[in-house]
Amino acid sequence: PPGSGKTILAQQIAFSQTKNGKKALYLSTISEPALKLIRYQSQFDFFRAADLDKTFFYRSVGDEFRAKGFGAGFDHLWKMVDEYNPDIIIIDSFKAISNLASSEREARLAIYDLSLRLASHEMTTFLIGEYTLADISQRSEFAIADGILFLNLTEQEDQSRYLKVHKLRGSRFARGSHPFEIKKDGITCYPHPEPSEAERSLKLSRVSTYIPGLDQMSFGGFFDGSITIVAGSAGTGKTSLAMKFLGKKGLLVSFEEKPGRIERYAKNMQLEAPEVFYISPMQFIPERAVAEIKQMIEEKKPRRAVFDGLSAVTMEIDVLYDLIDFLIQRGITTVLIYELHDIFGTFSLLPTGVSRLVDNIILLRYVELRGKIERFITILKMRGSPHDTAIRSFAILPKEGLRIQGQIKGMSGLMTGIAQPVHHAVGEELAGGFRF
Please give the Cα distance from 71 to 61 (Å, whole number): 12
Query: Partners of 399 in the beta sheet?
Result: none
Q: Are strands 161-168 and 147-153 parallel, antiparallel or unpaired?
A: antiparallel
Query: Partners of 229 in the beta sheet?
Result: 336, 361
Q: pLDDT-based confidence at 75, cuts 50/70/90?
A: confident
Please give the Cα distance from 244 to 273 (Å, whole number): 9
Whether 315 contacts 261, CB under 8 Å: no
Alpha-carbon separation of residue 386 from 149, 220, 424 (angstroms): 51, 10, 29
Looking at residue 408, what DSSP letter applies? B
Task: Determine the average pLDDT of the residues in 231-241.
Answer: 90
Please give the Cα distance from 273 to 249 (Å, whole number): 9
- Each residue's pLDDT tens digit, 268-310: 888 888 899 999 888 788 899 999 999 999 999 999 999 998 8
Contacts of 170 (CB under 8 A, 6+ apart): 146
Q: Are strands 147-153 and 124-128 parallel, antiparallel or unpaired?
A: unpaired
Task: Determine the average pLDDT of the residues in 374-399.
Answer: 91
Please give the Cα distance from 49 to 233 (Å, whole number): 57
Name the 3-class secondary structure at 124: strand
Looking at residue 418, what DSSP letter applies? B
Average pLDDT, the chain: 85
Q: What is the pLDDT of residue 196?
A: 63
Whether 197 contacts 206, CB under 8 Å: no
Alpha-carbon separation of residue 338 from 176, 238, 252, 360, 376 (angstroms): 27, 9, 14, 13, 16
Architecture of domain 6-189: 3-Layer(aba) Sandwich (3.40)
Name the 3-class secondary structure at 244: helix
Q: Domain coordinates of the chain in residue numbers?
A: 6-189, 206-421
Which range among 171-175, 182-186, 211-215 shows the weakest confidence by mean pLDDT? Answer: 171-175
In the chain, the percentage of residues whose pLDDT exceeds 90 is 44
Task: Determine the average pLDDT of the residues in 163-187.
Answer: 92
Architecture of domain 206-421: 3-Layer(aba) Sandwich (3.40)
Q: What is the pLDDT of residue 106?
A: 84
Alpha-carbon separation of residue 97 from 38, 90, 107, 114, 315 (angstroms): 21, 13, 9, 13, 42
- Edge-first strand listing for the sheet containing 186-189: 147-153, 161-168, 177-183, 186-189
Q: pLDDT-based confidence at 199, cuts 50/70/90?
A: low
In terms of pLDDT, which residue wins out, 196 or 96?
96
pTM, 2 dp: 0.77
Q: Which of 185, 149, 180, 188 is nearest to 167 (CA)?
A: 149
Please give the Cα distance from 244 to 13 (Å, whole number): 48
- In DSSP notation, 141-158 reads HHHH-SEEEEEEE-SSTT
Please give the Cα distance from 92 to 86 (Å, whole number): 16
In terms of pLDDT, which residue wins out, 361 or 64?
361
Please give the Cα distance from 262 to 48 (Å, whole number): 44
Contacts of 399 (CB under 8 A, 6+ apart): 269, 270, 271
Name the 3-class secondary structure at 246: helix
The two domains 6-189 and 206-421 share their CATH topology (first three levels equal)? yes
Whether 359 contacts 202, CB under 8 Å: yes
Burial 141-178 (b: 16+ CB within 10 A, else e): bbeebeebbbbeeeeeeeebbbbbbeeeeeeeeeeeeb
Whether 246 contacts 303, CB under 8 Å: no
- Each residue's pLDDT tens digit, 84-138: 999 999 998 888 888 888 888 888 888 888 888 877 778 899 999 999 899 998 8
- Each residue's pLDDT tens digit, 311-331: 777 777 888 888 999 999 999
